Structure 1
């Protein structure tokens, strides 16, 4: 397979006077790689990796056009000329790879996530209509402020033109300020910016006109919007189509960039970075409707992770270009691999949201659980070749061991991986068995391919002992033996019907009709086991040692999962510590009051109580006096993200 198999995806296209080499777009997304609100070496290296890897167009993340637009700590700002040098450097680098560069211009309105100093800022919107998700009551913008914000967009665009960028994108998606003016349920104004659809589209049209007046006819102007806000107070598809038609009639825009959802509600926010349970390319019909209604070039974004899917969407006329942002976070070389026909070599995104938008929400730089180089390009962008070829033994074929083996072999070592089970993957094999988590198994496929390309000798069904280690005679051992389910001591453990999550997933135990899931970690496991059992007809109580189910996982994944549990009738018991059990009851303790919480008529207690490191091999190689490196859960039970990152580091260290 080669470029001829993607004739539409790899055909050039014009956005105004900008010609792009292909239809692959890295859309704007928060990276937390800026330096004091400016673009520096880390962000340039991050975007350059995607330009070098084959992206046709890159959008930089949202940049604040006005002092009232601060919505997170340390945002990128384009409200003064201080921003120009960083954007100039970025444009020079991106253009050197033949890739277009567009900057997102942003004002969140009432969608305030955080602040610069910990105090709650005053937010502004079309009207004093409250935000449900962040519980913000905005202040209505005065006419003078509206004019100021319009002019601020044009001024920022002029700075981007001076910096050498190809264009700007007005961010009216996900319920941000321009969308707040569009929405009649938010916009209650009685001046020329409220009331009729013409008036409610006026802010966007005035912004676009001001940008055009301050930049010129060759500068690209795009508009990002949600084709359907998918929220109880959001604009639906028919309303958005009418708005797009009015905006397009001014003939100022060069393209629409279409997504779904809204930041204003928990349900709508899931679509900002849709997790793996959403269908591949599910937003494409929204883009198609806008494209057909307006005749304007259209980008569509939403779970388009593979070039095959992008080719289908472009070929069918649903969009002209495809936003493939997380696909390129996971594999920056996706475009070049597809162009060269190396489809099997693409590291496909699995939509887990853990280290990309999950890092953003936690205030950390962007990365990827499968590709820890993302966001760390300056540190790990190139692997140093091995100064001398060594024999490396990797023990354990979970994600951490697989990554370590692939990196060590790619550097030039002779590497053999030993996995005692007949299949690779470790706990990832179990994770993919949870409801709506099947795609997680892609991490096994991707890491297996990385090992094959690097020339790793993969030995499955291979139990190791001191003799087999001595026979292999390694120069160094990487231990990635993982962990096993933790069974804490509690009263009645040996008398009650108690099983663990692994046994349930592997079908090793019978589970009664009435179940209590005791979830200590508050992660994917407890919430997934509860959903699985409820789907299978069990009556389920989910007792969480935390303030909500899924407390430790990315909010879009968690919130959607809690919604499904509610729909299945699962009773959720937060603040619950496992205390004991007997033949028909489970005894919990409220972790704040220490009062008893008793669950009666229980047939089975399912333990989701974390894991215990498997250290026998570590002890063995230490006693043998061998150089060894530890990876993943055998150090301390955590997640696949830490295991893969530590595998990368171990592969570099040997």
Structure 2
């Protein structure tokens, strides 16, 4: 373990990070009244206890009143945030990790009819496809005011005990200035690359004036928009070099792509069925060109990929954010030599999808994520052993079996089919969603380690279950497809299950009726 590249400490300015793995900035939408209260704090503290070196809060915290969050973000423009930030940072530090926060002004990436109904501002009138508000083209006083807001927010975060801040510049106001596609201002903030970067350096100057030279300040930015007429690869390298040479930035956190459309967002934050670590080599090129501390995250779901990123010198710190949503104790398990116990992220992106639908981020694979105040991530043994019988080996049955076995109970599971998986096994037949089977494989592995008895090809009749003399019976057989959808002709109706499983072959004249609009 002492030689593992991922477990080597890293010195970032005065801050010693205990290993090379970070949670990059992301917003699980847990704030209450715009503040990082109990749920938010518990979420980050759990990951700190799990061994991560640095957890980056917010994705992103709003610095101005006219940057209303489109989902539930931290309001860094309110003085009240200092109290809650201090409680969070103290708790994370006590657990051994560093903690920072990402600050932003959304620019056009919001709506006029949120919060105070203030005009959306941007360096051009061009609206964003995702949020659709036509922005007001910024004037001198807008720019000056927002620069001051950044400085105010940075001061609040320093007062709240943060180890540093990170500015967001992909899809938000800062890089709306950078990109020719979204900057139609005349000089001094429009035109040449140096003019388009002027707003960023004015913000950095104001922040340094407020927090001093020692406070850590980084920037997470797109080094290549991958859009015709936008910021290209060479522009990204030039921007990276200017950021380094400014002396005002302590680390670069590189992404690649754009987020103003759903396809663009998916390329930047890849999901299952897409290649792992698609932008890792690009981030490595930025590090090579600048020789500057470089961070990166984009579908780096496993330790082998993360280890390669560090060992090959592509990155200084590697982001495994969704991997820690799935398993907050990923690093502890590595340190303890229990890599096989790590719950794998299957890339379902349920966490992100829920946010964009206006909900809290939860994990398809880990029910305790976001519920740390009421549901333990680390299961304690029960005081009294019981005999537990479970019916069904879909995800619910296997999770019940895993948790019961971890608590020390004697567990027997009945399953009518010859293999575990339930509906997961059906969906994993799709090439794009084949990683979903990891939900089943991991639970089966955990159950087998703990001596769970499985009886496949067995109907759980009452007498069969009672013969086990159980203390507890859990029925986890799920539901059945609803096929009684016609007033006449229901004998012709078969379910998606029947077709996907191969139990029924369709005829030559088929009507597909979908009343759910989901993955089936």
Q: TM-score range by the shorter chain?
A: over 0.9
Query: CA 1:114–1:44 in 2, change beyond 3 Å: closer, same or farther?
Result: farther
> 1:143-292, aligned counterparts within 5 Å?
143-173=140-170, 175-231=171-227, 234-271=230-267, 273-292=269-288
Q: In the alignment, which of 475, 481, 484 is matched to residue 488 of structure 1?
A: 484
Task: Kindly report which structure 2 residues correspond to 1:305-344, keeping only aligned pairs within 5 A, or say none.
Answer: 305-344=301-340
Please say if residues 63 and 103 of structure 2, whose CA atoms lie closer than 8 Å, have aligned partners that are also in contact: yes
Is the contact between residue 222 and residue 253 of structure 1 (CA under 8 Å) also seen in structure 2? yes
* C-alpha distance after superposition, 1:505-539 (max 9, x if no partner): 333444567754322211011xxxxxxxxxxxxxx
- Cα gap change, 1:335/1:116 in structure 2, threshold over 3 Å: closer, same or farther? same
Structure 2 SS opposite 1:29: coil
Normalising to structure 1: TM-score of the pair? 0.75
- Deviation string for 1:217-256 (max 9, x for gaps)? 2211111012333446643323322222222221221111
- Residues 391, 415 of structure 1: 8 Å contact kept: yes
Q: Distance in 2 between matches of 1:79 and 1:463?
A: 60
The answer for the alignment partner of 2:466 in structure 1 is 470
- In structure 2, the partner of 1:370 is 365
- Residues 432 and 234 of structure 1, relative CA distance in 2, 3 Å threshold: farther
Match of residue 40 from structure 1:
37
1:453 to 1:142, Cα distance in 2 relative to 1, 3 A: farther
Deviates more, 1:292-301 or 1:271-280: 271-280
Q: Match of 1:341, SS?
A: coil
Show the counterpart of 1:520. 515
Q: Contact 1:276–1:352 at 8 Å: present in 2 too? A: yes
| 2:46 corresponds to | 49
Aligned pair count?
518
> Larger % of strand: which?
1
Question: Residue 166 of structure 1 contacts residue 219 of structure 1 at CA under 8 Å; is this kept in 2?
Answer: yes
Say yes or no: does 1:78 pair with 2:105: no
Distance in 2 (CA, whole Å) between partners of 1:12 and 1:277 is 33
Partner of 1:31: 28
- Report deviation, 1:384: 6.5
Q: Provide the rounded CA distance (Å) in 2 between the counterparts of 1:360 and 1:342.
A: 32
Partners of 1:233 and 1:40 in 2: CA distance = 42
Alpha-carbon shift at residue 348 of structure 1 (Å): 0.5
Cα distance in 2, alignment partners of residues 454 and 367 from structure 1? 27
Structure 1: distance between partners of 2:383 and 2:416:
31
Q: Is residue 14 from structure 1 mapped to residue 16 from structure 2 by the alignment?
A: no
Name structure 1 gaps, 5 residues minimum. 526-654
The question of 1:302 aligning with 2:316 is answered no
CA–CA distance in 2 between the matches of 1:272 and 1:436? 18
SS of equivalent residue, structure 2 residue 206 = helix
| Alpha-carbon shift at residue 387 of structure 1 (Å) | 4.5
Q: Separation in 2 of the partners of 1:329 and 1:114?
A: 32
State whether residues 326 and 366 of structure 2, in contact with CA within 8 Å, keep that contact through their aligned partners in structure 1.
Answer: yes
Shift of 1:290: 1.4
User: Is contact 1:204-1:247 (8 Å) kept?
Assistant: no
Q: Which of 410, 419, 422 is the matching residue for 2:418?
A: 422
1:129/1:137 contact within 8 Å kept: yes
Q: Superposition RMSD on alpha carbons, in Å?
A: 2.2
In the alignment, the residues of structure 2 paired with residue 495 and residue 84 of structure 1 have an alpha-carbon distance, to the nearest angstrom, of 64
Task: Tell me, in whole angstroms, the C-alpha distance in 2 between the residues paired with 1:114 and 1:473.
Answer: 63
Q: Which residue of 448, 463, 475 maps to 2:444?
A: 448
Instruction: Report the 3-state secondary structure (helix = DSSP H, G, I; strand = E; otherwise coil) of the residue aligned with 1:437.
Output: helix
Contact 1:172 1:223 in 2 (8 A): yes
Which residue in 2 is equivalent to 1:139?
Answer: 136
Question: Which is higher, the Rg of structure 1 or of structure 2?
Answer: 1
Q: Return the alpha-carbon distance in structure 2 between the equivalents of residues 507 and 150 of structure 1.
A: 61
**Within 2, Cα distance between the matches of 1:257 and 1:26?**
12
User: Residue in 2 aligned with 1:645?
Assistant: none
- Cα distance in 1 for partners of 2:491, 2:497 equals 20
Q: 2:290, 2:234 → 1: CA distance?
A: 13
Give 1:105 shift: 0.6
Matching residue within 91, 97, 100 for 2:98? 100
CA gap of 1:390–1:224, structure 2 versus 1, over 3 A, is: same
Q: In the alignment, is the contact (CA less than 8 A) between 2:380 and 2:406 conserved in 1?
A: no
Alpha-carbon distance in 1 for matches of 2:438, 2:72: 35
Over residues 99-141 of structure 1, what are the superposed CA-to-partner deviations in whole Å (9 max), with x where a residue is unaligned?
1111111111000168545x85421101212212222210111
